[in-house]
Structure 1
Amino acid sequence: MANFKRGKDKNIDKEAKIIIIDHEKCKPKTTVYDYLVSKSKLCPKECIILKDKKIEISENCCMVCFNSAKRSPGNAVSVVKLPTNLQTNVTYCYGKNSFKIHGLPTPQPGTVLGLLGINGIGKSTALNILSGKLLPNFGNIDKDVPTKKDIIKYYRGSELQNYFNKIYNKKTKVCVKPQNIFKYVTKYKGQNIQDLINKIDQRNKKDEICEKLQISHLFERNIEDLSGGELQRLIIAFTVMSDADVYFFDECSSFLDVKQRLVVNDIIRGLIDPINWNSDNKAKSKYIIVVEHDLAILDYVSDYIQCLYGKPSVYGVVSNKINVNNGINEFMEGYIRSENVKFRPYELSFKNSLSLESKILDSKQKQIYPKMTKHYESSGFKINIEEGHFHNNEIICLMGENGSGKTTFINLLSQSLSNLSYSHKQQHLENEYSKINLTVEEYMEQKINKSLGDKNFKFMVLNPLNINSIKDIRVCDLSGGQLQRLAITICLGTPAYLYLIDEPSAGLDCEQRVIVSKVIQKWLIEYLNRTCFLIEHDFLMTSTIADTIIVFEGQPGIECKANKPICLKDGFNKFLKNLNVTFRRDPNNFRPRINKKNSTKDREQKLANEYFLFD
């Protein structure tokens, strides 16, 4: 039997380190400043540099200067490890010069573990290993491939030893809600939904779960007739109706509105509630892992967090398990404190830096759209739109449940303001892009050639969205996230007066969502001084860039009303009051956080009629 060793080999994996200086504590006439100035004179190389009364330390400084800086008095200087492409402690490698993952998430029975990381960093690989579909090879591709006994022995002394022992001895049943729901349901094509539910329901909970997820009216349909949101809720129902010991939920919020996301969260949390199993021990034995890019939802559903960092499609590293609030904040900061690793050179923040009150709105640029009504005879749905107005230099966000007519509003708006040019990013992209056989670069040259020659467009849009990394891929071969970035680029690169953007966060990871928010704000508002109508269910994106809100009310799919635009605070409060949910802001990075139902904070905010707390 091969001898597999756990942990890093420091003789092979040399850690990259950098020195971080707190310049507020390292000013002239301070002890640390004088100390570093004296050390800078002892080395012939430019390791410690004094520039404009500011200390800088070269990343390539010699070991003598590095150790001298590390021993600086006070706490103004700190040493931080950088993530490196490790050679040891490999959990799984797909092949020579292929992606590899270091470490694994560690689920704990009776709790919900959240996984947080960008696309291509190994989350799906980790789930495949934990579900037993993929066996860890510890980097041994061709020879000495570990057996199941080797794997259990490898994790001896850790929580994963008991976990894999149950998985490999078939004492544990695993149920997975997959990321790609459209591919998953191809095996059920042509089958009736009610028949499928009756077949899958092992917990005798179908009536309760279908009512909560509002899918009872779909029973007479076949599975291929469902929309994205309906299909997502159905597959979640399939998962939670299964009597399993381990539940994995991979990106449940896609295609769902805020209300539906909160309902799904409560259903997932219910899997570890003894009431739903009629047994305290049974509930405490359930393992649950959730992969989610909506940080407000991940924060709300999880007990613990494990972050994944590294280089997409090259390698991923799984961090240690940590409290959910600290874990998300450390991911936002780009610095894992317990491991002293800085994996991103910048922090992510959700502060709305361009509130409407701070902008100068010219009344001459005010545009009015008329009162409108649309009635669909086939479905019977009716939407009534109040008269409203907008200005240049403004982002108007449309907030409402699925089926309330937001996309219809966008279409009617473009028709009623036919004298104004507009650029429209559609919600569903597959039909438009799936048949395009050109490369991304060729397609962009065809669509937005003029903008490609603009150095500001390159700096403010192309570079942040990392379009250069996909320019040689054919459009029809793009993944969901890559296709979303291309569609956003095409929309922003099309000269127009109005920009109509429908769900730009779909398919994007949490980091890309922040970047897209900043790109829309900087390019359309700060640089072009244009107007943007945005449909978005991710509260983090909405709270970051929205200036005014149009709230949709009524019965989705039957009759709804689009109110006139109101200020950000009033709009959020009105929408959340309808949902009976309160949000607060994290003091460190301003991300919205959902208050637990009936918590002290929840009751206080409802009493004060403040359903969303701003800065």
Structure 2
Amino acid sequence: MRIAVLDRELCQPKKCSKECINFCPKVRSGEEAVVVNDEDGKPEINESICIGCNICVRKCPFKAITIVNLPEELEEQAIHRFGENGFVLYRLPFVSEGDVTGILGPNGIGKTTALKILSGDMLPNLGGEASDWSDIIEHFNGSILQTHFEKIKDQDIKISIKPQHIRSIPKASSGQVGELLEGVDERGVLDEMAERLQLKHVWDRKLDVLSGGELQRVAIAACLSRKADLYFMDEVTPYLDIYQRKRVASFIRDMPEESTVLIIEHDIAILDLLTDRLHLGYGDPGAYGIITKPKGVRKGINQYLDGFLPDENIRIRSESIDFKQASASGRTGGKELIELPNLVKEYEDFKVELDGGQLYQGETVGIVGPNAIGKTTVVSMLAGKTEPKNSDVNLDLKISYKPQYIKADVNMDVGSFLATITSDYGSSYYKTRIMNPLSLDELVESKINDLSGGELQRVAIAACLSRKADIYILDEPSAHLDVEQRTMAIKTIKRVVKNMESSALVVDHDIYMIDLLSDRLMVFDGEPGIEGHAHGPYNMRKGMNMFLKNLGITFRRDEDTKRPRINKENSHLDRKQKRNGEYYYL
């Protein structure tokens, strides 16, 4: 579909006769594809009415209007179709020998399907009935993928896969961590891998007792310890903290030069650090997906965040994802809401302490630190779910809490569940503020215990924000969400907090989410698994410098999008920022 898009910075209504409106053919049919905004006098384009006729583009003297193609199903033959009227995947990514190639796109767009096809685990039907290898090879005749599928057909290629759903690993393989990894170590790198991925302490543990982060690192180690021509990795960052994500990225980058890796990932900072080039996925999640040709990593990420692909002349998102540094130097909240108490919790082999601090109305405080440092314990104490050692927590405030691990044991549909939480359910206000941003309309009739991880996460965020509270506490809300969903979750959290004049505490490991979300920062340090200490909340500059100094990495800002980018270790800029003590804000 073709529509006209207005650049409101170029538009100068006082210097023109509004011919873009006068000559619009839809006006003559009684509709208004182009109307004047009463506030600023500038035209606005109604995308649902605009037919993309190009007249307004020719009439505008300031070149403020352009025609853009919105993504629709391609005319070219599909790669795979899941039954009549089912999901269709168009195009495939391809890999270059010795490179790390990334795929970035929303959930439900066919990224995992593409990996299954490239690995030979799924035979593509080219949009019709099941094909044989000769049809597939003929379809890709003359391309890199022809050679790839010929090798798959002849079993002349070895592929090692890190699956997306790691919770299924203990069901497929019993025994201890060491037994599993020793059985697949074909490269003789087990000792180095155990050290760098911090697996020695779980070597003798059973797979079915591992935490999510431990199981993720075992899955990564099992994939990379095999000798393979291609390594396919489907999401490596879930359950890992920023320290562990950086270690995994460094280990993949240090693979032998001939190693070829294809990775799906939603953590843009890690994709930026890790990959040599990037494919983008777009379309209509659950309906069809399109994979772009490879792009440069910086260019691809910036186009994805902007929501417009110039090479394809396609708008994939109505709004860009913008990064700002306005909160770097101080808080943006209102009056003080509460003085947090000093809290201590001791277990047999672990201790964590919160110094205290203030929370202000209308602000969101990000919480950062490594895994096993006590972040979940502290927010659980503040939520009244865990009893501290030194005092009773009685904040005399209403708390709404979304835990880190969500149980899907509610035997009702999503709509009925949310209706039990708030009387606003079903109102236009609730749809606008909660349902629409979190894309929950499509789930209202689904049973809670049938939801995927990402769907359950969105429902849990909605449930937390639906309660009227003074403090909203959300533990790892980005888990299982794609970039678009994370962005909308951020906007929803901040909007609710501002409107309710409340405060939010948000634990997360996605540096982009923390950057977009936080007004101030609470920083945990200590020794994971032994002791943890919560400091702050600090302003973003002080908090990020403290956090990243412990981590040993620096960030710069992209010139175009202002998104944070990890500096290459020991680069000139990395050394300069460390020397100046500015790890995040230049």
Residue 336 of structure 1 is matched in structure 2 by: 309
Q: Tell me, yes or no, if the aligned pair for 1:369 and 1:417 is still in contact at 8 Å.
A: no
Correspondence 1:424 to 2:401: yes
Quickly say closer, same or farther: Cα 1:484–1:35, change in 2 above 3 A: closer
Take 1:394 and 1:57, find their aligned partners in 2: how far apart are those partners? Answer: 34
Residue 376 of structure 1 is matched in structure 2 by: 347
Residue 416 of structure 2 is matched in structure 1 by: 442
Residue 468 of structure 1 is matched in structure 2 by: 441
Structure 1, unaligned stretches of length 5 or more?
1-15, 275-282
Take 1:137 and 1:118, find their aligned partners in 2: how far apart are those partners? Answer: 23
SS at match of 1:572: helix
SS at match of 1:598: coil
Take 1:450 and 1:599, find their aligned partners in 2: how far apart are those partners? Answer: 55
SS at match of 1:450: coil
Residue 186 of structure 1 is matched in structure 2 by: 171
Q: Tell me, yes or no, if the aligned pair for 2:184 and 2:225 is still in contact at 8 Å.
A: yes
Q: Deviations over 1:174-224 (max 9, x none)?
A: 1111110001331113x1221111111010000000100111111111111
Q: Deviations over 1:285-340 (max 9, x none)?
A: x3211111111111111111111111111000111110011111111111111111
Take 2:371 and 2:457, find their aligned partners in 1: how far apart are those partners? Answer: 20
Correspondence 1:527 to 2:515: no
Residue 537 of structure 1 is matched in structure 2 by: 509
Quickly say closer, same or farther: Cα 1:470–1:355, change in 2 above 3 A: farther
Take 1:443 and 1:160, find their aligned partners in 2: how far apart are those partners? Answer: 47
1:241 positional shift: 0.3
Match of 1:559 among 519, 531, 535: 531
Q: Deviations over 1:496-519 (max 9, x none)?
A: 222211000001011100111111
Q: RMSD over aligned Cα, in angstroms?
A: 2.5
Residue 395 of structure 1 is matched in structure 2 by: 364
Structure 2, unaligned stretches of length 5 or more?
385-391
SS at match of 2:93: coil
Correspondence 1:229 to 2:208: no
Q: Tell me, yes or no, if the aligned pair for 1:213 and 1:264 is still in contact at 8 Å.
A: yes
Q: Which amino acid aligns with 2:79?
A: T
Residue 277 of structure 1 is matched in structure 2 by: none
Residue 597 of structure 1 is matched in structure 2 by: 569
Residue 459 of structure 1 is matched in structure 2 by: 432
Residue 116 of structure 1 is matched in structure 2 by: 104
SS at match of 2:145: helix
Take 1:360 and 1:383, find their aligned partners in 2: how far apart are those partners? Answer: 27
Q: Deviations over 1:18-62 (max 9, x none)?
A: 22233443425768x687578569995578857476456676567
Quickly say closer, same or farther: Cα 1:41–1:514, change in 2 above 3 A: closer
Residue 225 of structure 2 is matched in structure 1 by: 241
Q: Tell me, yes or no, if the aligned pair for 2:20 and 2:55 is still in contact at 8 Å.
A: no
Q: Tell me, yes or no, if the aligned pair for 2:400 and 2:471 is still in contact at 8 Å.
A: yes
1:586 positional shift: 2.3
Q: Mean alpha-carbon deviation: is it higher for 260-269 or for 74-83?
A: 74-83
1:412 positional shift: 2.4
Q: Which amino acid aligns with 1:593?
A: R
Residue 507 of structure 1 is matched in structure 2 by: 480
Take 2:224 and 2:416, find their aligned partners in 1: how far apart are those partners? Answer: 45
Q: Which amino acid aligns with 1:381?
A: F
* Aligned-residue identity in percent: 36
1:462 positional shift: 1.7
TM-score by length of structure 1 reads 0.88
Take 1:182 and 1:549, find their aligned partners in 2: how far apart are those partners? Answer: 32
SS at match of 1:209: helix
Correspondence 1:265 to 2:237: no
Take 1:566 and 1:132, find their aligned partners in 2: how far apart are those partners? Answer: 51
Q: Mean alpha-carbon deviation: is it higher for 417-426 or for 73-82?
A: 73-82
Take 1:137 and 1:300, find their aligned partners in 2: how far apart are those partners? Answer: 35
Quickly say closer, same or farther: Cα 1:172–1:423, change in 2 above 3 A: same
Residue 146 of structure 1 is matched in structure 2 by: 131
1:66 positional shift: 2.7
Residue 389 of structure 2 is matched in structure 1 by: none
Quickly say closer, same or farther: Cα 1:436–1:48, change in 2 above 3 A: closer
SS at match of 1:565: strand
1:75 positional shift: 4.0
Q: Tell me, yes or no, if the aligned pair for 1:116 and 1:308 is still in contact at 8 Å.
A: yes
Match of 2:456 among 448, 462, 483: 483
Quickly say closer, same or farther: Cα 1:93–1:71, change in 2 above 3 A: farther
Equivalent pairs, count? 573
Q: Tell me, yes or no, if the aligned pair for 2:26 and 2:32 is still in contact at 8 Å.
A: no
Q: Tell me, yes or no, if the aligned pair for 2:333 and 2:363 is still in contact at 8 Å.
A: no
TM-score by length of structure 2 reads 0.92
Quickly say closer, same or farther: Cα 1:523–1:218, change in 2 above 3 A: same
1:169 positional shift: 1.6
Correspondence 1:98 to 2:71: no
Q: Tell me, yes or no, if the aligned pair for 2:86 and 2:287 is still in contact at 8 Å.
A: yes
